[in-house]
Amino acid sequence: MRILFLGDIVGQPGRSIVAARLPGLLEQYRPDLIIANAENVANGRGITPKLAEQLFDAQIDILTMGNHVWDNREIFGYIEHDRRIVRPANFPPGVPGIGYTLVKIGVLQVAVVNLIGRVFMGDYDSPFAAIDRILAEIEPRTKHVFVDFHAEATSEKLAFAHYVDGRVSAVIGTHTHVQTADEQILPGGTAYLTDVGMCGPVNGIIGIKKEQVLQRFLTQMPVRFDVETGPAMLNAVVVDLTDKGTASSVTRISLR
Ligand code: FE2
């Protein structure tokens, strides 16, 4: 089984490069499941129902989220009813939506899990406890488990990956928007990449206009952030899974 995962799609430049390059990637890699992190798809801030539908129409099967999921109120109701969008499972109880979803691929099922880190992020529940709970729930149904770990700190991402090594198929990091070059298969068989990188503008600072980010750093005053315009890049990863649910390969993709 082959999974294609697209990194954080950021605003119009991200949407454009995904629309332009995804068909070629589908032809080249022929994935069974296409997942994308889409928490920055609406001008860098959250997602709307309309944009979610556009991504589903572009053949993306599942959308994962992160700290920006609630930036557009219209998504609150939508996320309750569409099981193709998953928001972090370790958000506090009572929030809309689901933290993982099961997808049928032929005779197999794949669980797609979204978790959020806590280091430099926010006061969320433990992602370690959350994955234990989820794995206990899905264990009778599947060993194929893909995790989008949306987090800032490399150490937290790698620690989490080792915690679940051999218990999930892949832990792929999102949120920093910068692709790392540490793809590996851990000793227990879990594919790992600290951060897949974004689908978004090449210029700017992690997708945002650089003048605005610099002004924030230089003055420490509140500054409105807008997505950078101009050329875009597409960052993604392809993970191949065995029938046992372990990973047999992990391949980074970076297109400009
Ligand atoms: Fe994020």
pLDDT tens digits, one per residue of 10-26: 999 999 999 999 999 99
Place of tokens 């227990």: 188
DSSP E strand stretches across the chain: 2-6, 33-37, 62-64, 85-86, 100-105, 108-116, 145-150, 170-174, 184-185, 191-193, 200-201, 232-241, 247-255
State in Å: Cα 244 to ligand 1 middle: 31
The whole-model pTM stands at 0.97
State in Å: Cα 152 to ligand 1 middle: 8
pLDDT for the residue numbered 113: 98
d(CA 197, CA 252): 10
pLDDT for the residue numbered 189: 98
Give per-residue pLDDT as tens, 133-182.
999 999 989 999 999 999 999 999 999 999 999 999 999 999 999 999 99
State in Å: Cα 140 to ligand 1 middle: 32
| Residue 176: strand, helix, or coil | coil
State in Å: Cα 108 to ligand 1 middle: 30
144 as an active site residue: the answer is no
Which phi and psi (to 5°) does residue 136 adopt? Answer: -65, -35
**Beta bridge partners of residue 173, listed in sequence order:** 149
Average pLDDT, the chain: 97
Percent of the chain residues topping a pLDDT of 90: 99
Place of tokens 């926010």: 122
- Which tokens in the block code for residue 14? 């991200």
Closest among 80, 132, 134 to 112, alpha carbons compared? 134
State in Å: Cα 67 to ligand 1 middle: 5
State in Å: Cα 10 to ligand 1 middle: 10
The CA-atom distances, in angstroms, between 3 and each of 51, 61, 198 are: 22, 11, 17
Give per-residue pLDDT as tens, 223-243.
999 999 999 999 999 999 999
d(CA 98, CA 15): 24
pLDDT for the residue numbered 27: 98
pLDDT for the residue numbered 160: 98
pLDDT for the residue numbered 43: 92
pLDDT for the residue numbered 72: 95
Residue 18 C-beta-side C-alpha neighbours within 13 Å: 31
Q: What is the mean pLDDT of residues 107-126?
A: 96
d(CA 204, CA 202): 7
Task: Please pick, among 68, 144, 175, 177, the residue that the annotation labels catalytic.
Answer: 68
State in Å: Cα 138 to ligand 1 middle: 26
Closest among 239, 191, 251 to 1, alpha carbons compared? 239
Residue 13 C-beta-side C-alpha neighbours within 13 Å: 25
Which phi and psi (to 5°) does residue 73 adopt? Answer: -65, -30
Give per-residue pLDDT as tens, 72-99.
999 999 999 999 999 999 999 999 999 9
pLDDT for the residue numbered 169: 98
DSSP state of 126: P
